[in-house]
Structure formats: C-alpha cells, structure tokens
Structure 1
Amino acid sequence: MKHPSQPVLYIVIPCYNEQEVLPITAPLFLQKIEQLAAAGSISPDSRILFVNDGSRDKTWEIICNLAKSDPHYLGISQSRNRGHQNAVLAGLMEARCRCDITISIDCDGQDDINAMDKMVEAYHDGCEVVYGVRSSRATDTFFKRFTAESFYKLLNGMGAEVVFNHADYRLMSARVLKEFANFKEVNLFLRGMVPLVGFKSTSVAYERHERLAGESHYPLSKMLALAFDGITSLSVKPIRLITGFGVLVALISFIGVIWAVVQAVLGHTVSGWASTTSIICFVSGVQLICLGVIGEYIGKIYMETKARPRYIISERTWDEEE
C-alpha cells in the first residue's frame, strides 16, 4: 500500500498528575514535530495530543495553556481517571480520523523521542505498525528487570502474542486504527491486542532513560495487576492448566484410594492424622486457587457483558473554536 509522502502525525500522550514533567517534555515533543516536518517526513499539520486521565493536579490547566500558546498542541480530558490503557485508547480513537499515523508515548521523557525518526522512516518503507523496543534494561533494578523479562516470557508461554520488551511506545497507521476500533474489549491490554490486528510491522530499538521530573505512577502493585490482566485477557491457558492439574490430582487421589482399600483388606491400616490433614489442606488450597482463577475469568466476562464505555471525554481544547 502506498503511503502519503507527508503523512499527518498525531503524537498521543496520556497524562496523569504530570504537572512537574509536562512543562519540560512538551517543548521536546514540539521540537520533534518541527524537525520531522522540516525534513519532509511528516506534514506541518501534525499535532501533539495530550490525554488528561482525570488528573488531580494542574495537568489539565497546563495542557489548556499549551493549546493556547501553539496550534500544534491539542488536549482532551477524560471525565474521571480510567487508567493508562484507557487513556491511550481514548487518544488513539480521537486521532484516527484526523491523521495518517499516530505515535503513542508517555510524557515522562523516559522513552527516547528520537526513535520517532526511525518509526516514521519504517512507515514510509511500508510498515503499518512500528513497535518501540527497549534495547536494554540497564537502568532498572535487578528485581524490576527480572520480573519484567519474566512477565514477557510468561505471556508468550501462555499463548499471548506480545513483543518482548515493548510497552506502549508504538506507531500505528490510520488503517490499523480503523480495524483496531472493531476490538470492543473493556479489559484492555494494548500491547497484546495490537499484534492481533496484523498488518506489516517491525521494531525500533531505543534506550530508556530516567524520568525527567516527578514520580512514577506505576508502582509494583499496578504492574502486577497489569500483568495479571494481560494474561487473563489474552489467553485461556490458565484454565486449561487448571484442568490438567485437576486431572493429575484426581489420578493421584484415585491411586491413593486403591492403596487405602488394599491396605484395609490386608489389615495394615494405622492411624494417620498428620498425613490425612496434610492432604486435605493441600487439596483445599489447590481448589481455592483454581476457584480464584476461574472467578477472575468470570469477573471479566461480567464486565464485558455490561459493555460500559471504555472512556468518556468531558473536555477538548478545541471545543471553543468550534
């Protein structure tokens, strides 16, 4: 498919309580837009779209001031905080009818914005999706590096198609976004959903830096919740593992019953309170774990059947102009 020589690019940036870092990174994004436009890689009509995810600080006020200062800045605000994945989706869906390509990136300055040059270049070479992939995790602690890499390996082992060391820094064409809009899941895990759309794709490696300002809004608890959401949203393998484990336990139990009957017939039975209690506790624990996993899937089904909106945009910086 032939791509436009100067595509309109929208950089989609989710923001949650980013009043400290936004004034620093916003000019950097503008500078990148101007550089790419000057090189003829993108259209001068390209824009930077901030998505305020129900921030409680002055983030939205800063976004509105940026929009007034330069037409390249745009902003939308969600009616309440709905999470990072929903904020990214809101920005992508808002931009898909206004541009030829989007690049989603966090506003904290950790992802190298210079990787956008190679992303746009790959788009011109015919790729519809370009994944930003971390070249190393040298800046991470051992624990974070180990858990993150284990998470990607676990997802792939569970049958979910994800790009190793890729988060939500990616280029997507309007053609891909049009098809992606047909995915109606309420439980979002974008880095696992985008590969399902298909189309020609590639990866661009980049170095990840420390935050330029402010504190991370993704503590360990949120990362673990995202990991569990990713597994249960993209794969039914945990259910199958439970089934297999249940068959194994049932087989062992059946063998134990036969052994007990034989011992009773031979008159070799003895009191075994400790062993009986251990077996009961083990089986009970396994049952509770299995019920918990099954309950997680049932809960997701419950949320999907409600079909609630995944985001609600309450304000736009360009409302007054219209």
Structure 2
Amino acid sequence: MTSSLPVLTLVIPCYNEEAILTDTCAKLSSTLASLMVEQLISPASTMLFVDDGSKDHTWQLIKIEHLANRLVTGIKLAANAGHQRALLAGMMHAKHYSDCVITLDADLQDDISVIRTFVLRYLEGFEIVYGVRNDRTSDTSFKRNTAALFYRFMDTLGIRLISNHADYRLLNKRALDELSRYGESKLFLRGIIPQIGFKSDIVPYERKRRLAGETKYPLKKMLSFAFEGITSFSVAPIRLIAAIGFTLFLVSMLAACYAAFQKLFGDPDAGWTSLIISIWLLGGLQLMAIGIIGEYIGTIFAEVKKRPLYSIDSKLEQIHPIGTSKFTKT
C-alpha cells in the first residue's frame, strides 16, 4: 500500500433503503476498486453506511454486505435523527481515519461516475468539491420552479448557497475539522459548508432517476427543510414583519382620517365591509407574525438545551484493508 494515497470514505445515509442497498453496494464497490487500480485512492478507502433508524431490514443488509465485502462499514443510529444529522454523524465518524469524504444518497441519483473527478480535484488541492446538477429535467415542473425560486430568495436574503447543489460533495480532513466546530441543532449543511470558505470547486453532473423505493423527501418535508434553512441563516422574516407592521400603521392612519371624514360629512354606516375585511386581514397577519417569531423562539429553545444531535447504537468497522473486520456495540 502506498502511504501517500489518500484514504477516501463514501458516507451514505440510509433510511428504509432495503430495496436498493445491495445494488448500491455493488456499484460503489466497483467505483472504489477502479480508483484503487488507478492508484488515486488508498486501498484502505471504504464505504460508510449510516442507518438513520430504519424500520425495515436496512441495517441487517448492511451487516450482510459488511461480512461479504471488506469495503463496507457502517454505523447504526439509535433513533431516526434526520438526513442532515445522519450525514454529520457519518462525516464526524469518518474524519478520524479518512483524508477526505464524499457524501451521497443511497438511491444513487447522484452520478457516481464523477466521484473520480471529485478525487482529482482533491488531488489538485481543492478542500471542498461541490457536485452541482447541470439540469433538472428529471424533476417535475413544480419542483424545478420552486427550487429556482428558493435559490433566488436565499440569494436575496444574503444567504450563500451553491445553486442546484444538494448534499453530494467532497470535504477534506481540514474542512471536516472546521465543520465539527459548528454546533447548530437545526442543521442546514448546504448553508453551513459554504461558510467554511476553504478552497473549493464545482463539478457538474446529471442527476438520474431513483432506481427503486420511494423518495424520503416529499413536498411537506422539503418545505420544512427550506424554511429551516431560511430561519437558520437569516432574520429577514422578522424584519419583514416589522416592515409590514409599519406599513399597516401608515395605512391605518389614512383609514382613520377617512373614517373621521365620513363621520363628519358622510354616511356613518358606510364602510362596514371594509372594516370586517381589515379585521380579518390584521388578524391573519398577526397570527402569521406570531408563527414566524415562534419559529425563531423554537430554534433558540432547541439550541440552548445543547442536546446531542445523534446517538450511535452500533458500528461495523474495518480493521485492515485486506484483513478481517469487527462489530462493536456501543
């Protein structure tokens, strides 16, 4: 083994992925083996599957693959922590023995052929490499339009994101160490990692269709994830509330002048409809404002408790790249 070759770990979060796990292992094993033959990565490189509290047989399949394939390692979280926390758990576990990691989803919609390009960029000196979709033709029209709107909105708020980038990226050890210093309980890695600011590059790729199984990000969860990203990085919504309140104050002053004029010179019974509409409008705006402020208060509540982001139940570790491996229960 050539010691100068970097140890690469592929971090793959899994939640109920039994339908595609075997195929995923086979394809990623072939990719890693090819890179080893080219002497681009060390033979100690591995895949790390992070079971995020799956309810099916995902963890059992990971253990079977681990026994049959020396490239497969894994950790099992004690409970479902969420996609972002599962990613962080895998990266923080892998950083102790890896020179770099690449995160990707188990469904392999992210084109694994560009993993080689990621590694080449790393060898050129880039510390963070982002995989960026070069088109969204596989998405529905609604998803394409809402995604474009989201990125434009985040840019307007001054939140630095990589457009059309999900969680397909490479980070070197220094970037991982820096990431470990971020302690948010509401993780939005797409916003956090660009803040690190190390030397980075972009690799375009074509996103594919899911091989099997169902997406773990339905519309409801996508909207919640987007809103968490906004509230985690900007106070603009609260400032927007203040601006709306000030505008409504000015409008109410004009309405008061109009009401006084009507009282003195017009029909005092006129304007009942506009009064009711105003009450409903103000009531709705107040509830919306309370909800947005409550979201920020809830975020503060979650942060001050300082609870651990995840708990690891079991580990499948590689002892030697060509030797046996072990199972540990924590």
Shorter-chain TM-score category? over 0.9
TM-score normalised by structure 2 residue count: 0.93
AA aligned opposite 1:44: P
Letter in 2 for 1:86: R
Tell me how far 1:61 sits from its aligned partner: 0.6
C-alpha contact (below 8 Å) 2:15/2:53 kept by paired residues: yes
Counterpart check, 1:308 vs 2:278:
no
Which residue of 2 is the match for residue 141 of structure 1?
140
Equivalent residue letter for 1:123: Y
CA deviations 1:255-296 (Å, max 9, x no partner) are 222333344344664432111111111111111111111111
Q: How far is 1:179 from its partner?
A: 0.8
Q: Is the 8 A contact 1:132 1:169 kept in 2?
A: yes
State the match for 1:129 in structure 2: 128
What is the percentage of aligned positions where both structures have the same residue? 45
TM-superposed CA distance for 1:70, in Å, is: 2.1
Instruction: State the match for 2:232 in structure 1.
Output: 233
Instruction: Give the secondary structure class of the aligned counterpart of 1:86.
Output: helix
Cα drift, residue 103 of structure 1: 0.1
Tell me, in whole angstroms, the C-alpha distance in 2 between the residues paired with 1:184 and 1:115.
31
How far did 1:159 drift?
A: 2.1
Partner of 1:47: 46
Give RMSD over aligned pairs. 1.6
Deviation at 1:182, TM superposition (A): 0.6
The answer on whether the counterparts of 2:5 and 2:39 sit within 8 Å (CA) in structure 1 is yes
The verdict on how the C-alpha distance between 1:124 and 1:5 changes in structure 2, with shifts beyond 3 A counting, is farther
Match of 1:203 in 2: 202
Decide whether the 8 Å contact of 2:114 with 2:203 is kept in 1.
yes
User: In the TM superposition, what is the alpha-carbon distance from 1:19 to its structure 2 partner?
Assistant: 0.6
Deviations 1:153-189 (A, max 9, x none): 2222222111100000000111011011010000011
Contact 1:5 1:41 in 2 (8 A): no
What is the Cα deviation at residue 104 of structure 1? 0.1
Corresponding residue pairs, total = 319
Q: Distance in 2 between matches of 1:22 and 1:321?
A: 22
Q: Offset of 1:42 from its aligned partner?
A: 1.2
Distance 1:223 1:296 in 2: 17
Which digits, 9 at most, give the CA deviation of each residue in 1:122-169, with x for residues without a partner?
111221111100010111111111112222222222221111000000
Rounded to whole Å, the distance in 2 between the matches of 1:185 and 1:19 is: 31
| Aligned-residue offset at 1:320 | 3.4
Q: Which residue of 2 aligns with 1:281?
A: 280
Q: 1:267 to 1:19 in 2, by over 3 A?
A: closer
Letter of the 2:252 counterpart: S
Match of 1:320 in 2: 327
TM-superposition CA deviations, 1:9-68 (whole Å, max 9, x none): 010000011111000011111111111111121111111100000011111011111111
**C-alpha distance in structure 2 between counterparts of 1:320 and 1:11, whole Å:** 19
1:194 aligned partner = 193
Give the match for residue 98 of structure 1: 97
1:34 alignment partner in structure 2: 33
CA distance in 2, matches of 1:156, 1:209: 27
Shift of 1:197: 1.1
Q: Report the TM-score when normalising by structure 1.
A: 0.95
CA contact (8 A) 2:315 2:328 kept: no
- Counterparts of 1:268 and 1:155 in 2: how far apart (Å)? 49
Gaps of 5+ in 2: 318-325
Q: What is aligned with 1:13?
A: 12
- For 1:93 and 1:118, the matched residues in 2 are separated by 23
Q: Quick one: distance in 2 between partners of 1:203 and 1:277?
A: 54
